[in-house]
Amino acid sequence: MPALKFVRSVWESFRASSGLEPRLLDGLRVTHASPGKVRFELDIQKEHTNRLNILHGGTIASMVDLGGSLAVASRGFFATGVSTDLNVTYISSGGKIGDLIRAEVTCDKFGKTMAFTSIRFMNAKDELFARGSHTKYIAQAWKDPKNITEELSLKAEK
């Protein structure tokens, strides 16, 4: 199964089973996935903004969390582990209602127990407005029968 199809299936599982993601990030679109890298985009809606009518920092933090999970999924994990650390650096406003934001997340290090991811957020002018990192504990995730880790390993891609 190609990485994009698999990552989208994991995203659909989040949308079907989670309490937060379908409420806040339902309009998020996964546009690219290869082993260790995912890109997605989101049109900013009212529910994504703060009282200044600009993109809320909590929305960005939620996308760092989801993005890290999708990067782990891009390595063939259906179960994406649990968060141990999440960091967001806000550089400038991400935009307002109607603006498109894009993100690229990479799995920087992938081991037997931990996965380390980083993410960059760009506005419609291709300017960086935030970046983040997300660390996941994945030891138990290796056991999920829905995993396709061999098929989506970096070795298989080469």
Convert the pLDDT of each residue in 13-52 to its tens digit. Answer: 999 999 999 899 999 999 999 999 999 999 999 999 999 9
In the chain, where the domains are located? 3-152
The band of 1, judged by pLDDT with boundaries at 50, 70 and 90, is low
DSSP 146: T
Convert the pLDDT of each residue in 104-141 to its tens digit. Answer: 999 999 999 999 999 999 998 999 999 999 999 999 99
The band of 149, judged by pLDDT with boundaries at 50, 70 and 90, is confident
Would you call 65 exposed, middle or buried from its count of C-beta atoms within 10 A (0-12, 13-18, 19+)?
A: buried
Separation in Å, CA 137 to CA 2, 30, 40, 71, 109: 24, 23, 23, 13, 12
**Cα separation, 58 vs 148, whole angstroms:** 32
**Cα separation, 49 vs 86, whole angstroms:** 21
**Cα separation, 125 vs 150, whole angstroms:** 38
Q: Which CATH code fits 3-152?
A: 3.10.129.10
Return the structure tokens found at 24: 């806040």
